[in-house]
Amino acid sequence: MTPPQKPRFAFERDELTVVLGASGVYALRMLGLYMALPIMSTWAAGLPGATPFLVGLAVGAYGLTQAIFQVPAGLLGDLRGRRIVVLCSLVVFGLGCAIVAVSHNIHMVILGRLVQGVGAMASTLIALIGDVTREQVRTRAMALMGAVLGVAFAGGFLLGPLTSAHFGVPAVFGLAAGLSVLGAVLFEIVVPGRLVPRVGRGSRADIAAATGAKAAPPWSWSEARSLLHDRSLLVLDGGIAALHAALTGLFVVLPFVLKEFFGPLDLWKVYAPVLASGLISMVWASHQADRPARTRKVLRTGSVTLTIGLIGLALFHQTLLGAAVSMWLFVVGFAMIEPVLASLLTRYTGKTARGTAAGLFNMSQFGGAFVGGALAGFLMQFGRSAPFAALAVLTGGWAIALSWLRDPEGITLSTIHVPGLDEARWQALRGRLVSHPSILEADWTAGGPVLVRHWYRLVTEDDVAALLRD
């Protein structure tokens, strides 16, 4: 008897190609966005027509249209393929950057930021990585993507102030436009079409035969609708919303705080060590979260850490030491949480609805960014402590809500043999399975068993077998 093969915990070559290629292209786009983040609020405050609220709106406006278009983009990726969504999003984002680069008042800046947000691709990239990676390496895949974005985040925070000091803030947005278009070209080169699951016209068999791509099963409205009833997905959506509300709100206020201590060319002295610590905490947290039993502990630790950081900023931002230590706590906590949330999203969903689920997830993320920016801009009139305190309440509330997150150890894969199963009967059975709120995914290959991923405490293997017999 041949012993069962142990799961492989190392990346396969194709997995690594897609993860690094998609992450690198996304990082190019985000580099331009991150370059603007530490300098935008102080620059926008000096434009004609600027008020504290409009400055906050300019920083957060990108999140509003991102939130609106994430679900349509994710759904389009499920229906028509991931590649076209990624390419179009990069081009539209570049157009928005160009509008901001030529803006001469706060209202044009807000318009450009709104156009930037129409280029919504985060949900599609998360779904793409989830499509091509095995569950054993998916957390590390998301962490690797997060690490690449972390390098872009750090690079943007260091290069943005330097570029703006020498060439002006509009040059930062002009560079961002160029980087986004470059990303579209590189995506075509570095991510081979054979590795991107294709959907759309024609049967799965026809597509696979013609292109060699991994075929994707059909999208199902009943499966997508079931996402709205999954409490764990709702906790993840709330978490990413709170996280990015805090991040965007922080950088509406923080540039004014650091301006009291540093000039533009000296900001690296605080950003560099803080961001390096964040990368280290991200790697550690992702390694821990690969073990399902530790996932919720990592999230709780991160949420408490960043909340303490926000409280520290509310109380001690008047001193350099207090601001620096509090910012360090925030970044370390933030870095621990974000890749784990994205990884859990792909664990808690099946392939055919993963783009839609990622769309809801990223809609929440960027909706949070918009609310955080607008809220911080509004509250700044009451002093710099007020926005930090409000954001701490938000993240602290989510830390409490983590008690409703289901343990990922509760997911199992059942193998069930169904004699006489054919393609026509399978389509009806599959629709029944994936619309069940406790079943995550169902797959079948002609002549083989039915594979079902489900929450075993909520629906047993016998329950699944009964569904297949009915």
CB 124 within 8 A of CB 90: no
Mean pLDDT lowest among 243-257, 287-301, 347-361: 347-361
What pLDDT is stored for residue 182 in this prediction? 92
Strand ranges in 302-458 using DSSP code E only, listed in sequence order = 411-416, 439-444, 450-455
Contact 116, 36 (CB under 8 A): no
pLDDT band for 319, please (50, 70, 90 cuts).
very high
pLDDT value of position 223: 60
**Average pLDDT for residues 43-54, to the nearest whole number?**
90
In Å, how far from its chain's centre is CA 148?
A: 13
User: How high is the pLDDT of residue 220?
Assistant: 55
Helices vs. strands in the chain: H and E counts, helices first: 17, 3
pTM for this predicted structure: 0.75
Statement: residue 269 has pLDDT above 90? no
281 confidence band (pLDDT: 50, 70, 90): confident
* Residue 153 tokens, joined: 């985040």
Domains and CATH numbers, the chain: 13-404 (1.20.1250.20), 409-469 (3.30.70.100)
Question: What is the average pLDDT score of the chain?
Answer: 82
Pick the range with the lowest mean pLDDT from 4-8, 202-206, 445-449.
Answer: 202-206
Contact (Cβ atoms closer than 8 angstroms) between residue 56 and residue 255: no
% of the chain surpassing 70 pLDDT = 88
Query: Tell me, what's the pLDDT at 219?
Result: 52
Is 80 exceeded by the pLDDT of residue 88? yes
Q: Find which of 217-226, 248-257, 443-452 is predicted with most confidence, using mean pLDDT.
A: 248-257
Note the pLDDT tens digit of each residue in 368-414.
988 999 999 999 889 899 999 999 999 999 999 998 888 887 888 88
HSE of 338 in the Cβ direction (CA atoms, 13 Å)? 29
Which are the contacts of 427, defined by CB distance < 8 A and separation ≥ 6? none
